[in-house]
Structure 1
Amino acid sequence: MSTTAVQGYNAGYLNGIDDVGGIGGTNESQLAQLLELLIEEIKEILDPSSQNSGDAGGVGGIGSGTPSYSAPPAYAGGGGAAPAGVSGGGGGQGGGGAAPGIGGGGSGGGGGNGNTLPNVSGGDAAHAIAQDLKSRYGLTDAQVAGVLGNLQQESGLKGNVNQGGATGAPSGNFADDNANGWGLAQWGGTRKQGEINYAKEHGLDPGSLEANIGFMNQELDTTYSKTITDIKQTTTAEQAALVWDKDYEQATDPQMENRNKYAEQFLAQGL
């Protein structure tokens, strides 16, 4: 009942009371009814559900929902190389490693055909890598030698070697530092995880030559296609070795004299 209704009822009731406060014969029942009305009115006033919900709300107000907080997106990582100054491990032989983090940027230089798995038909690692780079990307002997010189410095051309020389399965160290390198290029951090994931997706041992070359092809087709563009501009093994280190390995301590020496040796042996 509204307050106006109660007031109207009160006026009618008071008219039945005499000047000295006496109560007529029927006033007791009227008083009881008035009290009931007052009780109902008080209940309505105290009941929040009877109020207009549109007046509530706001931050922390009646009708405001619980705030929803979305977690920040996890960092995706990807298979790239780190910003300048960050290294992804020194490789099995020491010297640098394929740095984790953001890639070198693609510029359409890759020659991939969508299938990144190499055609490994036996022979040593050097010849398997050379044949893949020639057939897939059209690299010359000198350019291939520059790549091999880097990989020799990084891992001794072993696909199952961890930073420091231990062979077998990849270590559990995925920190972006100089102690987590893995595989041919001594991939570190998110790139190391990328090689492991690539092997799993293709049913391969992460330490197998096929998984290592396949993952390298995947990077060269995508985040590291600039490496192929740049290396195709070189004419000597040493130039190619420098480009591969700068674009793909991004080693903290490249020890280029070793990479150049190995590159020249591979070129002299014939590819």
Structure 2
Amino acid sequence: MRYFAAATTAFLIATTPPAFADRGSNLPSANSQPAAATEAPETQAAPITIPEQLITNLQRDFGLTRSQAAGITGNLAHESGNFRMLAEIDGGCYGYSQWCGPRKSRFRSYAARVGGQESFQANYGYLHYELKSEYGAMMRRIRATDDVSQVARIFMKTYLRPRASTANLQRRVRFSEMYLAYRFDGAGCYSHFQLEASNRPAACPEST
């Protein structure tokens, strides 16, 4: 517990802009990134998609199985159009998790200091922060099952909390099962990141 308290204090050092001076403990420091929140080199032998890297990071940083990490990542794929559409089409939400309202404001304030709101660094870094700081009970429930559809349901209902009209659990599960089967076709690219338009990461180039 002593280590956890020290790590939490370091993680939440108030390097926040003035708008967050009264809630510094609710915004992660730009200097407290998870290890794999850094950008990939531009030159990479085989392209790596965003969901592939997310699954890798979630397994390592949270001690998850591949099924558990895929259940989370499939949810984020539904929210972000397979990591190709970061801005909500008919609304104001943004990012892999489609953060809205105060969460979006905090994400954007954080992203401005760690790579920009379109970057993997910012999106994974803020997801990592929220899961570590506010969703410990949910993560324990996720670790208790290796059923990818159950993980998808838990994450959707507890972390994302979508409107009933946009929930579409079946599509979230389909993405999760695709990723579990190593099928990442058409997903936004991590290793060769570029934008095809504003807020729209491009797919990976075809391997030669």
Structure 1 segments of 4 or more deviating over 4 A? none
Percent identity reads: 26
**Equivalent residues of 1:116, 1:215 under 8 A apart:** no
Aligned residue for 2:58, secondary structure, equals helix
CA distance in 1 between counterparts of 2:175 and 2:82 reads 11
> Which residue matches 2:155?
244
CA distance in 1 between counterparts of 2:150 and 2:51 reads 19
Q: State the number of aligned residues.
A: 150
Unaligned runs of 5+ in 1: 1-74, 81-113, 166-178
In the superposition, relative to structure 1, how do residues 160 and 194 fare at CA in structure 2: closer, same or farther (>3 Å)? farther
- Between 1 and 2, higher relative CO (CA 8 Å, sep ≥ 6) is seen in 2
Q: Note if 1:198 corresponds to 2:123.
A: no
> TM-score, normalization: structure 2?
0.64
Q: Residues 130-156 of structure 1, C-alpha deviation per residue, up to 9 Å, x if partnerless?
A: 111011001111111111210111002
Among residues 174, 179, 182, which one is paired with 1:266 in the alignment? 179
1:1-271 aligned within 5 A:
115-116=33-34, 118-121=37-40, 123-158=48-83, 161-164=86-89, 179-202=91-114, 204-253=115-164, 254-269=167-182
> TM-score, normalization: structure 1?
0.50
Counterpart AA for 2:171: N
Q: Which has the larger radius of gyration?
A: 1
CA positional deviation for 1:119: 4.2
Would you tell me which structure has more helix in proportion to its own residues? 2
CA positional deviation for 1:160: 6.2
CA distance in 2 between counterparts of 1:121 and 1:131 reads 13
Q: Over aligned residue pairs, what C-alpha RMSD do you find?
A: 2.6
Aligned residue for 1:222, secondary structure, equals helix
